[in-house]
């Protein structure tokens, strides 16, 4: 008796079709996670038309991504492996060029030709890339570590200095209780929309408007002596926003030198960014970013990380207000402003370059190797563990009883031989390769800038901690 195979074939085809539909649906719902840089991501920016994203990393490379899909478009590795990229970056020439700040220089790149246009080393080593004029013809650098808080404006084409001024000298000196002179420092600064003026907020509460072509102070405004933290200017250039350390927002009419409005933002909010053109600001709250209306303070959207041990920093918002980007050292994330949902995340694939051995039960590290020397750890006194966050290449030494952090061993730099060990009090040690990366970790563990930081170097620090 012959058995027809037709029903079985139809059933098999139906099953395969159902599996295909199920897989397709699952793929659409699954959050896309790509491998990004090979070290920490420190810089992020939108192109003018919001179609592309720039990321710069400690691995001495930058990458260009598609905003909608999160797909990688372009990778450029810098010539110097210690030229790690940090701070702000800016797209120019309708997104055809990009300007960013590696270690000890500024670089402008042509993205279409994938070649460097110029590299400028003639800048203070600690100067931060603060801003670029709307026309893309001027660059603002601020050296916060300079006692006089130097502000430098460069012509982007000729790289000549248009302004080199210390607002600590322009502003009024104020005597403290001991009678010594205390000079004002720039906390934040922006260009006017036409690029002809530089607007700065100082730590003595003053707002300075500097006319760039005439090189003179046009306006010097103050409401109180509370330090200005962040500044911004409206799109029409008529209103200037200054946020002080008490979360008081002052809005000035700079041309008439009048205070238009003052409103108090919640003092418990940690405001990490605000954009007058978008009329919004961002509050950091543990593992959340909270977007609020600048005029009313009302909630616009929340962006919540599922992992409470992670945190956001340096958010940027697209000009069309559709997408918000945030960093978490080991990845960058793209969020929908409309829904608050995570669109995608690009994670760094970082691995430690320090040889170590785990205990048999894999709960802690029993031995690390630095400078070709093996160091064994006594579990009764110290516990050494890898970072719990994905991609964290560092090793953390904690007191076995109190769990107090005793030291951090940094690795995962673009130079795989580099390592640095620091304590919470700012003491440190490093090999020759690691010394080039001290600038990166100094903000994490209170390592002081040169020349003071040399006083804090303790050779053989790990051995002393283990004792």
Q: Looking at the structure, tell me whether residues 146 and 291 fall in a common domain.
A: yes
Per the CB < 8 A criterion, the answer to whether 146 and 128 are in contact is: no
Q: Looking at the structure, tell me whether residues 196 and 55 fall in a common domain.
A: yes
Max CA distance (Å), the chain: 112
Q: What is the DSSP string of 372-419?
A: TEEEE--TTTEEEEE-SSTT---EEEEETTT--EEEEEE---SSTT--
Q: How many domains does the chain have?
A: 2
Q: Looking at the structure, tell me whether residues 124 and 45 fall in a common domain.
A: yes
Per the CB < 8 A criterion, the answer to whether 447 and 408 are in contact is: no
Taking the C-alpha atoms of residue 435 and residue 419, their distance in angstroms, rounded to an integer, is 8
pLDDT tens track, the chain, 467 positions = 445 555 555 555 555 554 444 444 343 333 444 557 877 788 999 999 999 999 998 888 999 999 999 999 999 999 887 788 988 999 999 999 999 999 779 999 999 999 999 999 888 877 889 999 999 999 999 887 666 678 899 999 999 999 888 765 554 444 444 444 456 788 899 999 999 999 999 888 988 888 999 888 888 888 888 999 999 998 888 889 999 999 999 999 988 889 998 988 888 888 888 888 787 888 877 678 899 988 777 899 999 877 766 667 789 999 999 999 998 767 889 999 999 999 998 888 765 556 666 555 555 666 777 656 667 776 667 777 776 655 567 788 888 888 888 888 887 766 767 788 888 888 888 888 888 777 656 544 444 445 555 678 888 888 888 77
Judge whether 165 lies within some domain: yes
Q: Looking at the structure, tell me whether residues 283 and 423 fall in a common domain.
A: no
CATH of the domain at 270: 2.130.10.10
Q: Looking at the structure, tell me whether residues 160 and 294 fall in a common domain.
A: yes
Judge whether 442 lies within some domain: yes
Taking the C-alpha atoms of residue 175 and residue 168, their distance in angstroms, rounded to an integer, is 13
Range of the domain at 416: 356-466
Q: Looking at the structure, tell me whether residues 380 and 317 fall in a common domain.
A: no
Domain boundary (347, 376, 398) is at: 347
Judge whether 71 lies within some domain: yes
Q: Looking at the structure, tell me whether residues 156 and 274 fall in a common domain.
A: yes
Q: Name all contacts of 28-32 with Cβ < 8 Å and 24+ positions apart.
A: 31/342, 31/344, 31/345, 32/69, 32/70, 32/344, 32/345
Judge whether 21 lies within some domain: no
Judge whether 24 lies within some domain: no
Q: Looking at the structure, tell me whether residues 234 and 309 fall in a common domain.
A: yes
Judge whether 27 lies within some domain: no
Domain boundary (318, 347, 376) is at: 347
Q: Identify the residue whose tokens are 């960093």.
A: 327
Per the CB < 8 A criterion, the answer to whether 192 and 176 are in contact is: no
Judge whether 11 lies within some domain: no
Domain boundary (347, 377, 400) is at: 347
Q: Looking at the structure, tell me whether residues 339 and 361 fall in a common domain.
A: no
Q: Looking at the structure, tell me whether residues 417 and 331 fall in a common domain.
A: no
Q: Looking at the structure, tell me whether residues 312 and 448 fall in a common domain.
A: no
Can you say whether the dihedral through the CA atoms of 382, 386, 388, 389 is positive or negative? Answer: positive
Q: Looking at the structure, tell me whether residues 405 and 314 fall in a common domain.
A: no
Taking the C-alpha atoms of residue 400 and residue 332, their distance in angstroms, rounded to an integer, is 34
Taking the C-alpha atoms of residue 208 and residue 184, their distance in angstroms, rounded to an integer, is 11
Q: What is the DSSP string of 305-324?
A: -SSTT---EEEEE-TTSSEE
Q: Per the structure block, which two tokens stand in for 407?
A: 């030291």
Judge whether 194 lies within some domain: yes
């Amino acid at each position: 008796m012959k058995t027809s195979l037709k029903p079985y074939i139809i059933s098999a085809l139906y099953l395969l079709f159902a599996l295909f539909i199920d897989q397709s649906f699952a793929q659409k719902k699954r959050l896309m996670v790509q491998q990004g840089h090979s070290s920490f991501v420190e810089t992020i920016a939108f192109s003018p038309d919001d179609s592309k994203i720039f990321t710069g990393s400690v691995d001495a490379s930058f990458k260009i991504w598609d905003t909608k899909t999160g797909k990688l478009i372009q990778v450029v590795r810098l010539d110097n492996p210690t030229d790690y990229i940090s701070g702000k970056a800016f797209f120019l020439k309708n997104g055809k060029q990009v300007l960013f700040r590696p270690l000890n220089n500024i670089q402008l790149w042509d993205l279409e030709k994938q070649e460097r246009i110029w590299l400028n080393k003639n800048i203070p080593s600690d100067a931060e890339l603060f801003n670029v004029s709307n026309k893309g013809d001027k660059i603002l650098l601020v050296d916060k570590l300079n006692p006089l808080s130097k502000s430098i404006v460069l012509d982007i084409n000729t790289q000549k200095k248009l302004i080199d001024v210390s607002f600590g000298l322009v502003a009024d000196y104020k005597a403290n209780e001991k009678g010594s002179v205390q000079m004002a420092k720039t906390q934040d600064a922006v260009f006017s929309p036409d690029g002809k003026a530089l607007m700065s907020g100082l730590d003595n509460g003053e707002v300075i408007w500097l006319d760039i072509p005439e090189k003179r102070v046009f306006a010097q405004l103050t409401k109180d002596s509370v330090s200005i933290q962040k500044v911004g200017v409206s799109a029409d250039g008529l209103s200037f926003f200054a946020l002080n350390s008490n979360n008081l927002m002052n809005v000035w009419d700079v041309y008439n030198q009048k205070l238009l409005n003052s409103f108090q933002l919640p003092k418990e909010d940690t405001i990490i960014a605000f954009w007058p053109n978008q009329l919004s600001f961002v509050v950091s709250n543990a593992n959340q970013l909270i977007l609020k209306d600048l005029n009313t303070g009302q909630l616009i959207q929340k962006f919540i990380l599922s992992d409470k041990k992670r945190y956001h920093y340096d958010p940027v918002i697209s000009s069309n207000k559709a997408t918000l980007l945030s960093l978490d050292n080991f990845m960058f994330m793209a969020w929908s402003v409309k829904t608050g949902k995570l669109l995608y995340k690009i994670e760094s694939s970082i691995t430690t370059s320090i040889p170590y051995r785990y205990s048999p039960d894999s709960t802690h590290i029993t031995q690390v190797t630095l400078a070709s020397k093996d160091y064994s750890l006594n579990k009764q006194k110290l516990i050494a563990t890898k970072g719990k966050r994905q991609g964290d290449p560092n090793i953390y030494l904690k007191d076995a009883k109190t769990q107090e952090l005793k030291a951090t061993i940094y690795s995962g730099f673009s130079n795989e031989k580099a390592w640095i060990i620091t304590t919470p009090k700012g003491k440190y040690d490093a090999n020759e390769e690691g010394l080039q990366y001290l600038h990166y970790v100094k903000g994490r563990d209170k390592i002081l800038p040169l020349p003071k930081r040399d006083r804090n170097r303790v050779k053989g620090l790990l051995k002393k901690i283990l004792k």
